[in-house]
Structure 1
Amino acid sequence: MSNSKRLFLRSKKVIPSGINSPVRYYDPYPFFVKKAQGSSLWDVDGNHYLDFCNGYGALLLGHRRKEIVSSVLSQLKKGTLYCAPTELEVELSELISKNFPSMQKVRLVNTGSEATMTAIRLARGFTKKKKIIKFEGCYHGAHDYVLVKAGSGAAHMGISVSDGSLEEVSKNTLVVQYNNSEELASVLEKEKDVAAVIVEPVLANMGLVLPEKNFLSDIRKITSENDSLLIFDEVVTGFRMSPGGAQKSYSIDPDITTLGKALGNGFVIAAVGGKSEIMDILSPEGQVYQASTYAGNPVSVSAALASVKTMNKNKAKLYPKLERSLQEFSVNSGRSCI
């Protein structure tokens, strides 16, 4: 019996389904990782893998990047959690705003799901409207606001994809087709209680689907005309498409942006940011509540600082090389990717 199979059988006794995230499960059992370096993984049976997953985009700079490891080790000697502000948080927020000018103010959080949940709550608090619109196929985390799918026809009420979710919450999420700006305009014309439209600018969670020409600019125009906010969920695309994410690549300024994954290069951190007048309604000065014990954790923040600085320092080589590699992969495999 392999070590991975033995660990999986042991794991199933104490962890639901034997794994801590559904995407890690596959038949007959997943391999268990022992270590990683650069673009490589080794499992507990000594098998060596070339890692094309890269933490679902989080590890843009690879495993155990020296600048990040060095920064984290330095912070570990100073402490792991203060529950008080640090200069590191200020520096990281300034750096995020420099890369993403639409994020005039930034609130650090822990996960992409927390970021999108906060973004939607902000939008509702700012507009005083209840409903949101998401696009079919876009994934924005595992909370009730967005864990919905389309009904039998376009623009139907969102139907929860999970037992335990509240219909009272999911019914306020409308679902329309991605790359269909006409449908979005039609829905917003009828629905006057839409606080925001949230979108992955490049749809990446059901395979890569690129935005058609003018689709993102159309969304920006339509939301502005209907007094709804535009939320760009750049948890996946942020720092991957460019140092300023998809919004820089497509020259779109959303009202609110969420970041995660590549921001921390494997460390648990995310961010939500946007126009100052929107972000200023967050508690404690505003009436939109958001809080977290681990927000701004100095270890994760030090990792994110090192990650963003490294990406910015190497952007002239990093992004052209990434683009060439992806183009070569697309040609050789017949598949598209970002």
Structure 2
Amino acid sequence: MDKTNSLRSFKQAQSHIPGGVNSPVRAFKAVGGEPIFMKSAKGAYMHDVDGNKYIDLINSWGPMILGHGKMQIERAVIDAVKKSLSFGTPTVAEIEMADLIANMMPSIEKVRMVNSGTEATMSAIRVARGFTKRDKIIKFEGCYHGHGDSFLIAAGSGAATMGEPDSPGVTKGTAQDTITVPFNDLEKVQEVVMENPNQIAAIILEPIGGNMGCVPPVTGYLQGLRTLCDENDIVLIFDEVMTGFRISKAGAQQYYGVKPDLTTLGKIIGGGMPVGAYGGRADIMNMVSPSGPVYQAGTLSGNPVAMAAGLAMLRYLNENTEIYTRLETMTEYIVQGIKLNILKLGLKYTVNAVGSMFSLFFTDEKVIDFDGAKKSDLNMFGKYFNAMLEKGIYLAPSQFETLFVSSAIDEIEADLIIQANYDSLKEIHKR
């Protein structure tokens, strides 16, 4: 595989971009080698600057649920661009987006648009603190909620990949107000709440872990958190930046039948454009300025181009809900193929999956939390990643990231993925 232009681009990028990338996991530090620079994408495939083609299993980390270059979304963006890239004023599209989100996700009565998932989670925590008049929050090991200071305590994803789960620059005061507990351990959460009576403002989590690899909640876990929050007047926040409108029409909260107080969104609601949102109960959201005293603002919030792309995406999903059954069926087909490969080769690796998200963990132990994910053989994962890359399959360059299946992947691509998986596993275990 020719990587000449990617190597040249990476060398040039390091001159003026820290590490040569604008998000750490892209640097391939966790898997070895040099990052691949992409040029274009269509359907299930991405094309790099050297002309190589890859089946895409990250899909821009989730939002390209329909694959790349979906006609309806491209057309909506082009029409919006002709009117203006930005107004800095209210637009009708913002109303339409808010109405559609509230219609599709019933737990959201009011919603505020922002520019990223990080901005959404930071704002949701601030609103929860303002609403409860409490300072402390509970988060979970391995759950990543963006790079806000409160969240870089035992974080997953990029922070774990880089070996810095507690980032320099996060103050001790911030850390003292952030209590971190293991994912899927309800008893531990109950203990923490009892030890901090009337001090916990919010519990925030990814209802399905996606930044320690794909880690679903155990039976009764989300329901138990809901009950605990109700009994102690704690705001329950679901970070559905990844899972919102991907796992089902109304996200993981519909999939598991648990209603949070606040929800953070991103990815899919921008159709691939940078965007985020947070919303939930009207009495909580009415705390947000200018309705209430909790200040949050953004010059580009509700950007018309992002709104146009997101509206086209959500309208398509709302009108074609059968897509979720197809996505889950295709993901299960791929997962079962991978499990069969593992069995054929006499290996004992773990595969987790839910909806259109899945992960292969290089450990023989069950993975239900971050400690379990960290038992994976990261050296072996790096070899596997590069072997798959050579065979034209683009995986997340980190063991601690879930993979995403798009509706553009059909049985042809699925069979190619399964075959590449078999060949790659066989190859790396011969070395």
TM bin (shorter chain): over 0.9
> Whole-Å Cα distance in 2 between the matches of residues 299 and 275 of structure 1?
27
Matching of residue 336 in structure 1 with residue 352 in structure 2? yes
Matching of residue 167 in structure 1 with residue 198 in structure 2? no
1:274-313 to 2 correspondences below 5 Å: 274-313=280-319
The TM-score normalised by the length of structure 1 is 0.95
Are the counterparts in 2 of residues 110 and 268 from structure 1 also a CA contact under 8 Å?
Answer: yes
Match of 1:211 in 2: 217
Matching of residue 324 in structure 1 with residue 347 in structure 2? no
Question: Which of 38, 43, 54 is equivalent to 1:33?
Answer: 38
Match of 2:387 in 1: none
Q: Aligned residues: percent identity?
A: 44
Closer, same or farther: CA 56–211 of 1 in aligned 2, 3 Å: same
- Offset, 1:171: 1.4
Question: Which of 7, 10, 30 is equivalent to 2:9?
Answer: 7
Matching of residue 23 in structure 1 with residue 25 in structure 2? yes
Are the counterparts in 2 of residues 160 and 167 from structure 1 also a CA contact under 8 Å?
Answer: no
Match of 2:273 in 1: 267
Letter of the 2:125 counterpart? I
Q: Which structure carries more helix by proportion? A: 2
- Offset, 1:336: 2.2
> Whole-Å Cα distance in 2 between the matches of residues 57 and 24 of structure 1?
15
Describe the superposition over 1:105-152 as per-residue Cα deviations: whole angstroms up to 9, x where unpaired: 0000110000000000000000000000001111111110111018xx
1:39-50 to 2 correspondences below 5 Å: 39-50=44-55
Letter of the 2:259 counterpart? D
Letter of the 2:150 counterpart? Y
Are the counterparts in 1 of residues 271 and 312 from structure 2 also a CA contact under 8 Å?
Answer: no
Letter of the 1:329 counterpart? I
> Whole-Å Cα distance in 2 between the matches of residues 92 and 115 of structure 1?
16
> Whole-Å Cα distance in 1 between the matches of residues 243 and 187 of structure 2?
25
Provide the secondary structure at the position in 1 that maps to 2:22: coil
- Offset, 1:160: 6.6
Provide the secondary structure at the position in 2 that maps to 1:141: coil
Matching of residue 80 in structure 1 with residue 91 in structure 2? no
Matching of residue 237 in structure 1 with residue 239 in structure 2? no
Are the counterparts in 1 of residues 207 and 239 from structure 2 also a CA contact under 8 Å?
Answer: yes
- Offset, 1:166: 1.3
> Whole-Å Cα distance in 2 between the matches of residues 160 and 266 of structure 1?
27
Provide the secondary structure at the position in 2 that maps to 1:149: coil
> Whole-Å Cα distance in 2 between the matches of residues 284 and 194 of structure 1?
25
> Whole-Å Cα distance in 1 between the matches of residues 335 and 165 of structure 2?
34
Aligned alpha-carbon RMSD (Å):
1.3
- Offset, 1:296: 0.3
Provide the secondary structure at the position in 2 that maps to 1:238: coil
Letter of the 1:224 counterpart? D
> Whole-Å Cα distance in 2 between the matches of residues 23 and 315 of structure 1?
32
Task: Report which stretch shifted further, 74-83 or 23-32.
Answer: 23-32
Provide the secondary structure at the position in 1 that maps to 2:239: strand
Provide the secondary structure at the position in 2 that maps to 1:312: helix
> Whole-Å Cα distance in 1 between the matches of residues 269 and 80 of structure 2?
17
The TM-score normalised by the length of structure 2 is 0.75
Match of 1:155 in 2: none
Describe the superposition over 1:178-232 as per-residue Cα deviations: whole angstroms up to 9, x where unpaired: 1111111111011120000001111111111111111100000001101111000
Question: Which of 198, 201, 208 is equivalent to 2:207?
Answer: 201
Task: Report which stretch shifted further, 299-308 or 54-63.
Answer: 54-63
Provide the secondary structure at the position in 1 that maps to 2:94: helix
- Offset, 1:265: 2.2
Describe the superposition over 1:9-29 as per-residue Cα deviations: whole angstroms up to 9, x where unpaired: 111111111111001011331
Task: Could you tell me which runs of 5 or more consecutive residues in structure 1 were left unpaired when the two chains were aligned.
Answer: 151-158
Aligned length: 329
